């Protein structure tokens, strides 16, 4: 039977969340420690564990059919692949940083300086757009130590929590790109593989929708029902059942994460009691 090959980062910022996403789709595979590839038990998918920088190229070539990678890596690679969807995790920014003790007035201060980076393409574009003439030193790792060893006066690298900059005595002076994890796809996927991708996406979407919503149960006096229901748009009309307690009903609905606390306060002051909120595992509509 046809299988789809998914490339994810072997080790790094996106690895854990990528595995979590697969797990939430109820796709399970044998313990993969130290392995390059593994096949799922219960879904036609094989998972390839690669260096993130290699993923766009492998997806372009069709070695992998789909991949999860940072938008920063994707754009820098300039590979010809389709961006299927943003995944909402692994948010970070690509920034220029300089030693903390060096004064900085503005971007023009970078003229004539050397900047070390693993993102020469994105950096060059930014410098050109801002009419800055700086030298770009392309290095493939441990960029943050470049200023302290005298290799460059500044760096351009990924900042997520900022702790790497902090521990290397650097300060962020320009943000040049913001990024999150994305799902990419080979441009010539076969119909059979596309069908598997659609199934994978269906599961992924229902998990993500579920995370944005909560299940709400509450008790309300009948004379307040109308007002309370108007505060609960839900997915469709809420379920209302009468309680053994005379003049009271129980209301079941779905409430969005957005404005959640504000809504709950309004519902409570409208007279609801015994409000119960529960996570939703999957949501399909
Ligand atoms: C980036 C970057 C820093 C770190 C910054 O590496 O190179 O080392 O993340 O994160 P922080 O602000 O939370 O300290 P990345 O995870 O992109 O992996 P890479 O080794 O593939 O560049
Ligand atoms: Zn990398």
Atom of ligand 1 nearest to the CA of 166: 14
Position 137 in a domain: yes
Q: How confident is the model at residue 238 (pLDDT cuts 50, 70, 90)?
A: confident
Is 238 found in the same domain as 191?
A: no
Chain segment 52-62, per-residue pLDDT in tens: 999 999 999 99
The pTM for the full model equals 0.86
Chain segment 80-125, per-residue pLDDT in tens: 999 999 999 999 999 999 999 999 999 999 999 999 999 999 999 9
User: In this structure, how many other beta carbons lie within 10 angstroms of the beta carbon of residue 21?
Assistant: 23
- Close Cβ partners of 46 (under 8 Å, ≥ 6 residues apart): 3, 4, 5, 6, 37, 38, 39, 40
The CATH number of the domain holding residue 218 is 3.30.70.120
State what percent of residues in the chain have pLDDT above 90.
85
Ligand 1, atom 22: nearest CA belongs to which residue? 141
What residues does the ion ligand 2 have nearby, CB within 5 Å?
52-53
Provide the token pair at 179. Answer: 């990024």
Pocket test for ligand 1, best of 160, 165, 177, 178 (most atoms within 8 A of CB): 160
pLDDT tops 90 at residue 256: no
CB-ligand 1 contact for 13 (6 Å cutoff): yes
Alpha-carbon distance values, 92 to 28, 67, 177 (Å) = 28, 18, 9
In which domain, by residue range, is 83 found? 4-89+180-210
Per the structure, the count of domains in the chain is 3
- Phi, psi for 105 (deg, rounded to 5): -95, -35
Look at residue 236 in the predicted model and tell me its pLDDT. 73
Evaluated on CA atoms 258, 85, 118, 20, the torsion sign reads positive
Q: Which of 26-35, 45-54, 260-269, 275-284 has the lowest mean pLDDT?
A: 26-35
Is 275 found in the same domain as 226?
A: yes
């Amino acid at each position: 039977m046809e299988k789809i090959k998914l490339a994810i980062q072997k080790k790094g910022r996106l690895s854990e969340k990528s595995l979590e996403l697969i797990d939430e789709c109820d796709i399970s595979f044998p313990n993969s420690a130290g392995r390059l590839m593994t096949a799922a038990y219960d879904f036609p998918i094989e998972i390839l564990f690669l260096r993130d920088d290699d993923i766009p190229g492998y997806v372009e070539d069709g070695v992998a059919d789909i991949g999860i990678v940072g938008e920063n890596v994707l754009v820098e690679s300039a590979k010809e692949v389709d961006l299927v969807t943003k995944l909402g995790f692994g948010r970070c920014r690509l920034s220029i940083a300089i030693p903390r003790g060096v004064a900085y007035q503005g971007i023009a201060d970078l003229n004539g300086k050397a900047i070390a980076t693993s993102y020469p393409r994105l950096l060059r574009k930014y410098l050109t757009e801002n009419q800055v003439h700086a030298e770009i030193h392309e290095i493939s790792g441990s960029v943050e130590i470049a200023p302290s060893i005298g290799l460059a006066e500044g760096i351009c690298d990924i900042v997520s929590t900022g702790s790497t900059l902090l521990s290397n005595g650097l300060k962020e002076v320009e943000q040049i790109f913001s990024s999150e994890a994305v799902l990419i796809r080979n441009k010539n996927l076969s119909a059979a593989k596309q069908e598997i991708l659609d199934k994978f996406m269906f599961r992924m979407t229902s998990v993500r929708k579920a995370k944005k919503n909560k299940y709400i149960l509450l008790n309300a006096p009948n004379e307040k029902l109308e007002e309370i229901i108007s505060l609960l748009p839900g997915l469709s009309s809420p379920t209302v059942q009468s309680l053994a307690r005379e003049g009271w009903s129980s209301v079941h609905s779905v409430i969005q994460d957005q404005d959640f606390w504000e809504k709950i306060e309004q519902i409570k002051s409208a007279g609801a009691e015994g409000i119960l909120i529960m996570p939703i595992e999957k949501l399909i509509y």
